[in-house]
């Protein structure tokens, strides 16, 4: 039986019949009776059982936003940084890098499967730090990826094939929505460990520790290095130290998602603390990096996936296997984003300019958090909004429930995801008051 509703099946049958009546005579003349008959007795379509899929939970928010005609509408759905005028922001260092790359008049020869090496080595150095034993001893197998999602998928595929100890990965609860389908499509199951405490709108440290103590040894565990998505809640350095010690003691394997280096505190070194600490403790890691947010490269899809090895032989073996996974996925990666990131990271002056610009973005977000909280206080809200400024990075878990979220969208044209997550990057001076008013209205 077809999944399509009866009306659709009928109209599809009618259009088939119409088509057949028009086409049959000319087909008969051209190809003979056999052809005309096959059109007339049209074979059943291949796709009648394909259901219309629901819009993507996060990207679907932007689609709904675009359809809204309210002039006061605000899009706080997808995590794309906007400047204080609400406009998409292309970093000046990126524009400069693009100019320099154009001037080089490069050809379009395929990149190697593992990508642009000047990019991958710079990306690894940025994450681990030039003084890291991983970098100094060349123990990182780093491949270019189609941004953060691509890195996660490569990593998931690698784990599915080579991580012999488990068929599942433990992710924080909650986590970025796309983590689940990424690992599932790669053949892995998902389990969760406690992370967010809805009572405090903060990190459930005791819950996380307890859960990680009880999962099987040698399990695969996903951590967000900084600016946890969707909650904005990060463990403190001391809490990270305890987590690292637990991971080491129980032989868990840490799988890091690093999408916001520089974007959380404004300081790339500070934001990398968790990753670097785990490595300093002698742990082998997997790392997914994205340059979508911190370099504003979004649509260029610049990212990298790294696994750390114990020696060169292992590093080479891992890299060769990563290439085997990449080849039947897309052969070799897109050049543009990698060239831009490489130009910036490998040039002292552009790199310095970038560090200032990324700090600028982080500072603006921090100031919007402060303004939002201040406005809510001014409006007389009695609710505790401390988490707005306690949380870090692009997102804020407002603590609003589904009904309140629904009202925000329907009554005020404020678009956010169902879980109450807002992208603070979409807040600016000329809409923060409106947003505060809307949030106050639905929560008072």
Partner 1 sequence: SRLLLGERSEAVLQEKYCGVQSISGTGALRLAAEFLHCFHKQGTTVYISDPTWANHRTIFSHAGYSDIRTYRYYYAPTRALDFEGLISDLEAASPGSVVVLHMCAHNPTGVDPSQEQWSKIADVFQARKLFPLFDCAYQGFVTGDPDVDAWPVRHFVERGMCFMAAQSFSKNFGLYNERAGNLTAVCANTEEAKAVRSQLKKVVRPMYSNPPNHGARIVATTLCNPAFLLEWQDNLRTMTSRIVLMRKQLYAKLLERGTEGTWKHIVDQKGMFTFTGLEGKCRAIILLLYYSCWMGLPSCRIQTDCLDISLL
Which parts of this chain interact with partner 1 (CB under 8 A)? 4, 8, 11-12, 15-16, 19-20, 23, 27, 31, 34-35, 38-39, 42-43, 45-53, 56, 59, 108-111, 145-150, 153, 178, 181-182, 184-186, 299-301, 325, 327-337
Whole-angstrom Cα distance, residue 253 to residue 236? 20
Q: Among residues 116 and 134, whose Cβ is nearest to partner 1?
A: 116
Q: Among residues 165 and 327, whose Cβ is nearest to partner 1?
A: 327
Q: Among residues 151 and 362, whose Cβ is nearest to partner 1?
A: 151
**Residue 87 annotated to the active site:** no
Q: How many residues does the chain have?
A: 444
Q: Among residues 43 and 380, whose Cβ is nearest to partner 1?
A: 43
Q: Among residues 289 and 443, whose Cβ is nearest to partner 1?
A: 289
Output the smallest distance, CB 18 to partner 1, in A: 10
Helix (H) or strand (E) holding 147: helix 147-162
52-79 burial, b at 16+ Cβ within 10 Å, e below that, comes to eeeeeebeebeeebeeeeeeebbbbbbb
**Residue 257 annotated to the active site:** yes
Output the smallest distance, CB 154 to partner 1, in A: 10
Q: What is the CA radius of gyration of the chain?
A: 25
Output the smallest distance, CB 398 to partner 1, in A: 24
**Residue 161 annotated to the active site:** no
Helix (H) or strand (E) holding 306: strand 302-308
Output the smallest distance, CB 427 to partner 1, in A: 23
DSSP readout, 348-375?
HHHHHHHHHHHHHHHHHHHHHHHHHHHH
Residue 218: which of 278, 276, 172, 283 has the closest Cα? 283
Sign of CA dihedral 209, 211, 214, 216: negative
Active-site entry in 176, 240, 354, 385: 176
Output the smallest distance, CB 349 to partner 1, in A: 25
Sign of CA dihedral 303, 305, 308, 314: negative
Paired with 145 in beta bridges are: 303
Q: Among residues 23 and 359, whose Cβ is nearest to partner 1?
A: 23
Output the smallest distance, CB 414 to partner 1, in A: 24
Helix (H) or strand (E) holding 441: helix 432-443
Answer yes or no: are the C-beta atoms of 244 and 283 closer than 8 Å. Answer: yes
Q: What CA–CA distances, in Å, run from 221 to 118, 194, 245, 247, 315?
A: 30, 12, 14, 9, 21
Residue 394: which of 176, 236, 207, 221 has the closest Cα? 176
Answer yes or no: are the C-beta atoms of 433 and 379 closer than 8 Å. Answer: no
Q: Among residues 332 and 346, whose Cβ is nearest to partner 1?
A: 332
Output the smallest distance, CB 185 to partner 1, in A: 5
Active-site entry in 234, 240, 271, 293: 293
Active-site entry in 73, 211, 240, 257: 257
- Within 41-146, residue ranges assigned H as helices are 59-67, 92-103, 117-128, 133-136
Catalytic residue list: 176, 257, 293
């Amino acid at each position: 039986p077809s999944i399509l509703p009866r009306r659709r099946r009928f109209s599809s049958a009618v259009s088939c019949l119409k088509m057949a009546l028009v086409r049959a005579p000319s087909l008969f003349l051209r190809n003979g009776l056999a052809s005309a008959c096959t059109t007339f007795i049209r074979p059943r379509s291949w796709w009648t059982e394909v259901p219309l899929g629901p819009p993507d939970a996060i990207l679907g928010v932007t689609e709904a936003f675009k359809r809204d005609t309210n002039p006061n509408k605000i899009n706080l759905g997808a995590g794309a940084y906007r400047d204080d005028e609400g406009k998409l922001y292309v970093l000046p260092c990126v524009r400069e890098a693009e100019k320099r790359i154009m001037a080089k008049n490069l050809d379009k020869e395929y990149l190697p499967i593992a990508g642009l090496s000047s990019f991958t080595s710079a990306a690894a150095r940025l994450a681990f730090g030039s003084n890291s034993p991983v970098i100094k001893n060349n123990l990182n197998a780093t491949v270019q990826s189609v941004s953060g999602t691509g890195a996660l998928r490569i990593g998931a595929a690698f784990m599915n094939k080579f991580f012999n100890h488990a068929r599942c990965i433990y992710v924080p609860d909650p986590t970025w929505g796309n983590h689940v389908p990424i690992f599932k499509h790669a053949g892995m199951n998902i389990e969760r460990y406690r992370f967010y405490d809805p009572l405090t709108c903060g990190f459930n440290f005791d819950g996380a520790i307890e859960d990680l103590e009880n999962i099987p040894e040698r399990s695969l565990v996903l951590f967000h290095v900084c600016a946890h998505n969707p909650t904005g809640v990060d463990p403190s350095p001391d809490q990270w130290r305890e987590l690292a010690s637990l991971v080491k003691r129980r032989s868990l394997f840490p799988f890091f998602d690093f999408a916001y280096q520089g974007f959380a505190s404004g300081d790339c070194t500070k934001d990398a603390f968790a990753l670097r600490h785990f490595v300093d403790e002698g742990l082998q890691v997997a790392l997914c990096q994205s340059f979508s947010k911190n370099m504003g490269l979004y649509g260029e899809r610049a990212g990298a996936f790294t696994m750390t090895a114990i020696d060169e032989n292992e590093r080479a073996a891992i890299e060769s296997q990563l290439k085997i996974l990449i080849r039947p996925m897309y052969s070799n990666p897109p050049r543009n984003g990698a060239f831009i990131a490489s130009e910036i990271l490998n040039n002292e002056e552009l790199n310095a300019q970038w560090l200032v610009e990324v700090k600028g973005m982080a500072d603006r977000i921090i100031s919007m958090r402060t303004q939002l909280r201040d406005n809510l206080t001014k409006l007389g809200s009695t609710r505790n909004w401390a988490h707005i400024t306690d949380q870090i990075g692009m997102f804020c878990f407002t603590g609003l429930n589904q009904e309140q979220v629904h009202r925000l969208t329907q009554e005020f044209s404020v678009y956010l995801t169902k879980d109450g997550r807002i992208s603070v990057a979409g807040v600016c001076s000329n809409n923060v008051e409106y947003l505060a008013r809307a949030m106050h209205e639905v929560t008072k």
